[in-house]
């Protein structure tokens, strides 16, 4: 066991926030998410128009502990493994995929902060209460310029999903030091130092209308030096794992090795798996009410065509969810292997975590599309839930990280020992 790398040989932390709800279990978190399903479905149109979930729902999510699932115990979180977080997000997304996308991408980055920022920065971000909510826009759409006391941040980051309820914004920026090549860095900007552009919700976009994917603008905010860390190609490089991370040393948990290539895509796929379950629920309700068009005496649920369609949808969604959960377990196995004997997570292993999740996302998307086709033209009308779920998974299909054919090239190059050619690798 890497005692130094994991922090077990260190003195006890100086700061430790009390848990807001001692004794909360993973099962209870998931039960709470399930309990919200009827309300989430009833309010889908409201949240689409709003562009995010309403303030009262944000308060409910906070009270139920959803923002603190992977947050370290030292700073008032539950420090549950990623599988607990994403199982909870599947259930929220089964109520409303757009809300699920917004919550998932607002709540998932406490894990990122806990992995890669120094103790001083973590204490400042999580603050006196431990309440921390932040999206991360991974493309380098801003700049960080050295100034006395820190860095001046400028930029405009679109598609910053989860920002409406954020306490902070995490942006990727290019740092230019005199005489050195540009470097990709992660910057953390507190609320009040960034502007949220009102460019989301209503009919501004095809789908995921309640996902809070607004543009964030930062104009000249100055942040301390310790609030900025190198990004380094989503932390894939094995040489960066030799001594662990600030998170493994501070929290003594190999989960905070923080290899995000796979976990970042789980943020999207958990929502799409939830959307597939939501579509199955809606399809089952439809075939339980309507008759077969060519046989008005037969309920669609009693006809072999609908039975086959829903049977395939169930098995494919079960398979997609199994892939999601197994990949999350595999991530923890790789982290535990590093803690046990120092074996780093290879670039290929990192890439394959994302690649297999892409297959799950495609499978779940296919389920939603097949159910819309089978249900018929009536489901394409405005306000129909199947139409909404179809629009939502179509947005996933267009995401730059959800292109399995393109990404497979990088996996193949890594496996064959060829130059990968991905930015930063």
Q: What is the pLDDT of residues 35-85, one digit of tens each?
A: 999 999 999 999 999 999 999 999 999 999 999 999 999 999 999 999 999
Domain 136-236 adopts which CATH fold?
A: Butyryl-CoA Dehydrogenase, subunit A; domain 2 (2.40.110)
Q: In the 8-state DSSP scheme, what is residue 205?
A: S
d(CA 212, CA 88): 19
pLDDT for res 271:
98
Which residues on adjacent β-strands are paired with residue 217?
Answer: 156, 195
Residue in 111, 110, 119, 113 with CA at minimum distance from that of residue 7? 119
CB 158 within 8 A of CB 138: no
d(CA 273, CA 368): 10
Quickly count: other Cβ atoms within 10 Å of residue 116's Cβ: 22
Looking up tokens 């009693």, which residue turns up?
302
Report the alpha-carbon angle 156-165-354, nearest 5. Answer: 70
d(CA 254, CA 114): 11
Question: Which residues does 266 contact at the CB level (< 8 Å), separation at least 6?
Answer: 82, 86, 324, 327, 328, 357
pLDDT at 194 over 60: yes
pLDDT at 209 over 50: yes
Give the pLDDT band (50/70/90) at residue 163: very high
pLDDT for res 9:
38
Level-2 CATH architecture, domain 259-416: Up-down Bundle (1.20)
d(CA 268, CA 407): 16
Give the pLDDT band (50/70/90) at residue 176: confident
Q: 72-85 pLDDT, tens per residue?
A: 999 999 999 999 99
Residue in 403, 398, 401, 388 with CA at minimum distance from that of residue 93? 388
Quickly count: other Cβ atoms within 10 Å of residue 425's Cβ: 17
Quickly count: other Cβ atoms within 10 Å of residue 34's Cβ: 14
| CA distance to 59, 158, 174, 207, 223, per residue, from 196 (Å) | 20, 10, 21, 20, 18
Q: 331-384 pLDDT, tens per residue?
A: 999 999 999 999 999 999 999 999 999 999 999 999 999 999 999 999 999 999
Start and end residues for every CATH 2.40.110.10 domain found in the chain: 136-236
Start and end residues for every CATH 1.20.140.10 domain found in the chain: 259-416
CB 110 within 8 A of CB 77: yes
d(CA 2, CA 341): 7
Give the mean model confidence (pLDDT) for residues 398-411. 96
Give the mean model confidence (pLDDT) for residues 174-197. 95
pLDDT at 280 over 50: yes
- Name the token pair of 302: 């009693």
- Name the token pair of 305: 């065509």
178 φ, ψ (degrees, to nearest 5): -60, 125
Highest mean pLDDT among 8-17, 144-153, 172-181: 144-153
The edge-to-edge listing of strands for the beta sheet with 228-230 is 195-196, 213-224, 150-161, 136-147, 168-175, 183-190, 228-230
Level-2 CATH architecture, domain 15-126: Orthogonal Bundle (1.10)
d(CA 396, CA 390): 10
Start and end residues for every CATH 1.10.540.10 domain found in the chain: 15-126
State the maximum Cα–Cα separation within the chain, in Å, rounded to a whole number: 79
pLDDT at 273 over 50: yes
Q: In the 8-state DSSP scheme, what is residue 343?
A: P
Of the candidate ranges 10-14, 93-97, 204-208, the one whose mean pLDDT is the lowest:
10-14
Give the pLDDT band (50/70/90) at residue 8: very low
d(CA 345, CA 342): 9
The enclosing H or E element of 363 equals helix 347-375
Q: 216-262 pLDDT, tens per residue?
A: 999 999 999 999 999 987 788 888 889 999 999 999 999 999 999 99
Highest mean pLDDT among 4-13, 156-165, 234-243: 156-165
Give the mean model confidence (pLDDT) for residues 290-306. 95
pLDDT for res 2:
57
Looking up tokens 């943020």, which residue turns up?
267
What does the mean pLDDT of the chain come to?
95
């Amino acid at each position: 066991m890497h005692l130094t790398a994991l922090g077990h040989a260190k003195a006890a932390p100086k700061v430790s926030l009390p848990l807001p709800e001692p004794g909360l279990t993973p099962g209870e978190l998931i039960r709470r998410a399930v309990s919200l399903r009827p309300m989430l479905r009833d309010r889908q149109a409201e949240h689409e128009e709003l562009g995010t979930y309403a303030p009262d729902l944000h308060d409910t999510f906070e009270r139920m502990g959803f923002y603190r699932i992977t947050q370290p115990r030292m700073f008032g979180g539950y420090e549950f493994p990623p599988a607990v977080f994403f199982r909870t997000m599947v259930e929220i997304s089964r109520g409303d995929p757009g809300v699920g996308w917004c919550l998932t991408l607002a709540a998932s980055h406490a894990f990122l902060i806990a992995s890669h920022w120094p103790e001083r920065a973590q204490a400042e971000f999580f603050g006196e209460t431990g309440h921390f909510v932040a999206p991360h826009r991974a493309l380098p759409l801003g700049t960080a310029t050295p100034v006395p006391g820190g860095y001046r941040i400028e930029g405009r980051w679109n598609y910053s999903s989860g920002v409406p309820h954020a306490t902070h914004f995490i942006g990727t920026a290019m740092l230019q030091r005199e005489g050195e090549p540009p470097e990709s860095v992660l910057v953390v900007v507190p609320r009040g130092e960034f502007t949220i552009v009102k460019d989301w919700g209503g009919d501004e976009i095809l789908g995921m209308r309640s996902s809070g994917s607004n543009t964030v603008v930062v104009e000249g905010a100055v942040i301390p030096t310790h609030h900025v860390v190198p990004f380094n190609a989503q932390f894939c490089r094995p040489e960066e794992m030799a001594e662990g991370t600030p998170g493994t040393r501070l929290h003594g948990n190999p989960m905070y090795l923080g290899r995000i290539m796979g976990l970042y895509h789980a943020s999207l796929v958990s929502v799409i798996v939830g959307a597939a379950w939501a579509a199955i629920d809606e399809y089952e309700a439809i075939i339980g009410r309507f008759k077969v068009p060519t046989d008005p005496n037969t309920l669609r649920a009693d006809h072999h065509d609908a039975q086959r369609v829903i049977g395939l949808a169930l098995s494919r969604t079960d398979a997609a969810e199994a892939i999601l959960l197994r990949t999350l377990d595999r991530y923890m196995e790789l982290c535990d292997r590093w803690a046990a004997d120092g074996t780093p997570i290879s670039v290929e292993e990192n890439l394959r975590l994302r690649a297999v999740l892409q297959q799950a996302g495609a499978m779940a998307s296919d389920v939603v599309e097949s159910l819309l086709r089978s249900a018929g033209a009536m489901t394409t009308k405005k306000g129909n839930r199947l139409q909404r779920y179809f629009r939502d998974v179509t947005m996933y299909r267009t995401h730059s990280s959800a292109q399995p054919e393109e990404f497979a090239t990088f996996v193949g190059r890594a496996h064959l020992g060829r130059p990968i050619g991905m930015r930063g690798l």
